[in-house]
Amino acid sequence: MIIQFVRRSSFLFFVLSMFAHAFIFGAALLLPQIFQNTKIKSLPLGNITTFNVSFLTSQNLGSLVQKKQMGYPKTMTRELKKQGLALSKKQTIPHKESAIASHRQHLPVEPEKIMVVDISSLSASQSNQQPPYPEEAEKNGIEAKCLVKILIDRNGHIQKIRPLSSSTECSPIFMQEIQNSLKHWKFNNPQSSNIETVVPIDFKLSDYY
């Protein structure tokens, strides 16, 4: 009995193994055909949604909130940036102008031209008075011949008085009277803003008394 059971079991195992091999062999033949007949549809690139992930920091979060609150479009923000850049450039202009102004201040000033003329070519005002005779010179009978150089401005007033005679020819007491009187002299219609001329003034007792 045992021998018969063993024989039947071995035969059954053999049959099952044959079926298993046949199934595996058939599956190996059918799988390529199944994959060939089945087409996998590709998803177009246009339907793929891309996600841009950015990490928020304290700085860009503040700027993002500010943009959301203001609601400015991109074109307006560009214009604001341009205006800010232009404003920063304008603010630097005064520094350049101050540098140019300081440079001009250090430039040498050209002296004004002086026209030298003869006293006879000038029209003196009738209000011009001859310098008075000094009392001390009159008592002592002293006379003098004095020469002074004067500078006349555009309005005909005398700006500078410079003695040309020596102290022996023209005593200081005479020169003092000349300077006091010529401060009030005036000339009509001067030809230039700076006219220089020499004025002779004689002190003779016979002319005064």
Structure tokens that stand for 144 in this block: 């003098």
**Tens of pLDDT, residues 64-83:** 445 554 555 555 556 656 66
Structure tokens that stand for 61 in this block: 């979060």
Structure tokens that stand for 190 in this block: 């001067």
Q: Tokens 């020819």 label which residue?
A: 169
- Across the chain, the runs of DSSP E, i.e. the strands, are 115-116, 123-124, 144-152, 158-163, 187-188, 195-203
Q: Tokens 């003092």 label which residue?
A: 176
State how far the Cα of 41 lies from the Cα of 31, in Å rounded to an integer.
19
User: Would the pLDDT of 1 be above 70?
Assistant: no
State how far the Cα of 176 lies from the Cα of 166, in Å rounded to an integer.
14
On whether the pTM is more than 0.75, the answer is: no
- In whole angstroms, how large is the CA radius of gyration of the chain? 60
**Tens of pLDDT, residues 120-167:** 888 889 899 999 999 999 999 999 999 999 999 988 999 999 999 998
Structure tokens that stand for 25 in this block: 């062999």
pLDDT in the model for residue 16: 75
Q: What angle do CA 150, 151, 153 make, to 5 degrees?
A: 140
Higher pLDDT, 178 or 192: 178
User: CB within 8 A of 185, min separation 6: which ones?
Assistant: 124, 125, 128, 150, 157, 158
